[in-house]
Each structure stands twice: as structure tokens, then as C-alpha cells.
């Protein structure tokens, strides 16, 4: 790894706690500016201490308001906060639409709450990598809590929030059919369910539907974010929340994690402390069960795969350009001169040859030893 003097200075400023340096580093990451990889690589040695919390859910669930109150409560407890808000792209500029940030009013002016909006720009696959890198920057900076807020609850957002240790899924009251659509993917990633705007009609029914969904998930073996076995009964919890507790009485080596269901009214701050307590309980579970280390390994494995895919894709694009470009090759297929499979084999041949040479070299080194 070789960083130029400017990036070394930027890294030093970030590690010394300069928020401007943190902002510049995230901009460099988001824009994929030259040298960003070396910079991110240098951050890894300074990471691993922050709690990373993902907040997702359907539009209108009140995510921004709850994140604001969450940050305010953490600050009252003396902890520093970083917020990465994944925004839809502006159709005019490609930049993040910052309207939702207006609702994060409580912490404006507090330098220990660093809010950064990142634009989806229509490339959510790459955004998940950029988000993970931005989390590394905030972690290395020294933020105690890092909150990732996404625009929705689709597959792309699921990929993004998997960067988090704990994922909270917000469900507005009276969702009805919406909960049915959540079942497939959200139950698998939710560590905590939050029924926000719980003072509205339909909140009790939504809580009950979620309890039934969690119960069905346990019976089918899908399970929540922690994986493993889950209890069968949902029982009322304190502070207005509902907690699905393990109730088979057996114990077992790892009884897993059953997602609690918390009720909040973010605009009033109601239920936020209980929400934070559940987040802390999940962190304790992750550490004590060894799941935190397992999830970290899975994240790093996916990061490695993603980077390799990006690099191999770039190499293949260069190879295609050397052969006249994809359009010429497609035209050759149209004329019946070749076919896509033959072209793919030809383009991959140099890459395969390089890999074979590396394997031959490694085998020779092993024999020499």
C-alpha cells in the first residue's frame, strides 16, 4: 500500500478527530477518487470499536425522525454518533435529496453527531461497498455509534444494512398487507422490529401481526438476524415494547435471538430509551454467542468477493476494448460469425492463463521447500 502525501495527511487528520477530514474522506470514498482504496485499506487497523446499527423500513415509517431521537439519546448518554443516510438520487444532479435531513433537527450544531447523506445514484450494488467503506471511516474516526438509514426495504437496502451489526426494521401502524410483503426478506435480517407512530390507530394490530410473523418464522426455521433457534411464545415486555422470549424451557447451547418488537412515537421521544436498551441487549447477545465475530467474517468475505468482482470486471472491460468493444462483438454475433459463449471463452482465456501461471509458480515454490 502506497499513499501519497496528501492522503497520508488526510488520514492523520481523520485519526486526530478532525470532522472536516472525515467529510473529505467519505467524499473520496463515495466518488471513488484516485487513491481511495489505499486510504480505506489504512483505516482497517483503526476499526472494530463502533456499534453499527442499520435502520430500514417502508417509506413513511418515520425513520429519519427516529434516527434523530436515537442520536439525541445517545448524546445524552455521552456517546458520539455518526449517521449515514442513504438517499434517493436527485433526477437533476445525481446528488442526494436532503429533504429528510430537515427532520433531523434535534442534533443540528452538535459536532459529535456527524450526519452524511450518500446518494444512491442508481447504482445500489456499488453503494453497499461505499457504505461499508464510509462506516470504516467513521469507526476509525472514533464514533461510538454508527447508524445507517436507508430509503426503503427492498433487496438493495437489505444489502446495504447488512453492513450493520444490528438491524432494526420500522413498520408503520396499520400496515396490513405491507407486513405480508415484508415476510420474505425482512424477517431474515431484522434483529429488532419497531412499530413507530404507535399512538395511531392500528398499532396494536400491527404489533400482533408482527408477533405472529416472528412466531411463524421460528416454526419454519427462518429466524431473525441472529439465526438459530427461537422461542415459541411472544410475551409483553416493558416500556411499551413486546418481546418474543424463548419459552421452550430447554436451554440448548445457543438458543439464538428472537427479534423483540418495540413500540415508539419518535416525534415525542416515546419508547426510544427502550429501543436503545434492546439494541444494547442484541449487542451483548452477539458478543456472548460469538455471532458478532461470525457476522464480521461474513461481511469481510463478501467485501473480498465484491472487490474481486469489480477488479475482474474492469480487467475484462479492458480486454473487450482491445478487441474492438462490446458493440463490434455483438454485431459479429448478430451476423452469425460467432456466439456469446465463444466470445466469453476467448476474452477469459488470458485471465485463465494468468491464474494457471500463478498456480504453477506456487506449486514450484512448494516443491522447492
Give the pLDDT confidence of 202-214 residue by residue, as tens digits.
888 888 888 888 8
Position 109 scores a pLDDT of 57
C-alpha span between 14 and 163 (Å, rounded): 21
Which of 50-64, 115-129, 141-155, 261-275 shows the lowest per-residue confidence on average (mean pLDDT)? Answer: 115-129
Which of 51-60, 102-111, 313-322 shows the lowest per-residue confidence on average (mean pLDDT)? Answer: 102-111
Position 81 scores a pLDDT of 96
Residue with cell 500463478: 358
Report the range out of 134-138, 170-174, 296-300, 344-348 with the highest average pLDDT: 134-138
C-alpha span between 112 and 86 (Å, rounded): 20
Tell me which long-range contacts 25-32 makes (C-beta under 8 A, separation of at least 24): 25/137, 26/116, 26/118, 26/134, 26/137, 29/130, 29/133, 29/134, 29/137, 30/118, 30/119, 30/130, 30/134, 32/130
C-alpha span between 56 and 27 (Å, rounded): 23
Position 102 scores a pLDDT of 42
| The length of the chain, given as a count of residues | 369
Dihedral class, residue 200 (left if φ above 0, else alpha if ψ from -120 to 50, else beta): beta
Position 247 scores a pLDDT of 36
Q: What average pLDDT does the structure give for the chain?
A: 80
Please state whether the predicted TM-score (pTM) of the whole model is above 0.85.
no
Position 219 scores a pLDDT of 65
Position 104 scores a pLDDT of 52
Give the residue among 206, 163, 120 at the shortest CA–CA distance from 300: 163
Q: Tell me: the pLDDT tens digits for 137-196?
A: 999 999 999 999 987 656 666 777 778 999 998 888 875 555 665 655 666 788 999 998
Query: What average pLDDT does range 54-81 have in this prediction?
Result: 90
Give me the residues paired with residue 194 across strands.
170, 262
Which of 83-97, 114-128, 198-212 shows the lowest per-residue confidence on average (mean pLDDT)? Answer: 83-97
Position 77 scores a pLDDT of 94
HEC-encoded secondary structure of the chain: CCCCHHHHHHHHHHHCCCHHHHHHHHHHHHCCCCCHHHHHHHHHHHCCCCEEEEEEECCCCCHHHHHHHHHHHHHHCCCCEEEEEEECECCCCCCECCHHHHHCCCCCCCCCEEEEEEECCCCHHHHHHHHHHHHHHHHHHCCCEEEEECCCCCHHHHHHHCCCCEEEEEECCCCCHHHHHHHHHHHHHCCEEEECCCCCCCHHHHHHHHHHHHHHHHHHCCCCCCCCCCCCEEEECCCCCEEEECCCCCCCCCCCCCCCEEECECCCCECHHHHHHHHHHHHHHHHHHCHHHHHHHHHHHHHHHHHHHHHHHHHHHHHHHHCCCHHHHHHHHHCCCCCHHHHHHHHHHHHHHHHHHHHHHHHHHHHHC
High-pLDDT (> 70) share of the chain, %: 75
Residue with cell 454475433: 333
Amino acid at each position: 500500500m502506497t499513499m501519497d502525501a496528501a492522503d497520508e495527511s488526510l488520514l492523520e487528520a481523520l485519526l486526530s478527530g478532525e470532522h472536516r477530514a472525515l467529510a473529505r474522506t467519505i467524499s473520496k470514498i463515495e466518488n471513488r477518487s484516485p487513491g481511495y482504496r489505499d486510504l480505506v485499506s489504512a483505516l482497517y487497523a483503526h476499526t472494530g470499536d463502533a456499534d453499527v446499527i442499520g435502520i430500514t423500513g417502508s417509506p413513511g415509517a418515520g425513520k429519519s425522525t427516529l434516527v434523530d431521537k436515537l442520536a439525541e439519546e445517545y448524546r445524552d448518554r455521552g456517546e458520539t454518533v455518526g449517521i449515514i443516510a442513504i438517499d434517493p438520487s436527485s433526477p437533476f444532479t445525481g446528488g442526494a435529496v436532503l429533504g429528510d435531513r430537515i427532520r433531523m433537527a434535534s442534533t443540528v450544531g452538535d459536532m459529535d453527531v456527524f450526519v452524511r447523506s450518500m446518494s444512491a445514484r442508481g447504482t445500489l450494488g456499488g453503494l453497499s461497498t461505499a457504505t461499508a467503506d464510509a462506516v470504516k471511516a467513521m469507526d476509525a474516526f472514533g464514533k461510538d455509534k454508527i447508524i445507517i438509514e436507508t430509503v426503503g426495504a427492498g433487496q438493495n437496502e437489505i444489502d446495504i444494512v447488512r453492513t450493520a451489526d444490528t438491524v432494526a426494521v420500522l413498520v408503520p401502524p396499520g400496515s396490513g398487507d405491507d407486513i405480508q410483503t415484508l415476510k420474505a426478506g425482512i424477517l431474515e435480517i431484522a434483529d429488532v422490529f419497531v412499530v413507530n407512530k404507535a399512538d395511531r390507530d392500528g398499532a396494536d394490530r400491527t404489533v400482533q401481526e408482527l408477533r405472529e410473523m416472528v412466531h411463524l418464522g421460528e416454526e419454519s426455521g427462518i429466524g431473525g438476524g441472529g439465526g438459530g433457534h427461537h422461542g415459541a411464545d411472544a410475551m409483553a415486555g416493558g416500556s411499551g415494547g413486546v418481546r418474543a422470549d424463548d419459552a421452550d424451557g430447554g436451554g440448548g447451547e445457543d438458543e439464538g435471538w428472537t427479534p423483540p418488537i418495540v413500540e415508539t412515537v419518535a416525534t415525542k421521544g416515546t419508547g426510544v430509551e427502550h429501543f436503545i436498551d434492546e439494541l444494547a441487549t442484541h449487542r451483548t447477545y452477539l458478543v456472548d454467542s460469538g455471532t458478532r465475530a461470525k457476522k464480521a467474517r461474513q461481511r469481510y468475505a463478501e467485501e473480498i468477493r465484491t472487490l474481486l468482482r469489480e477488479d475482474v470486471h474492469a480487467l475484462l472491460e479492458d480486454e473487450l476494448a482491445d478487441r474492438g468493444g462490446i458493440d463490434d462483438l455483438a454485431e459479429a454475433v448478430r451476423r452469425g460469425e460467432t456466439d456469446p459463449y465463444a466470445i466469453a471463452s476467448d476474452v477469459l482465456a488470458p485471465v485463465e492463463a494468468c491464474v494457471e501461471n500463478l498456480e504453477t509458480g506456487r506449486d514450484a515454490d512448494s516443491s522447492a521447500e
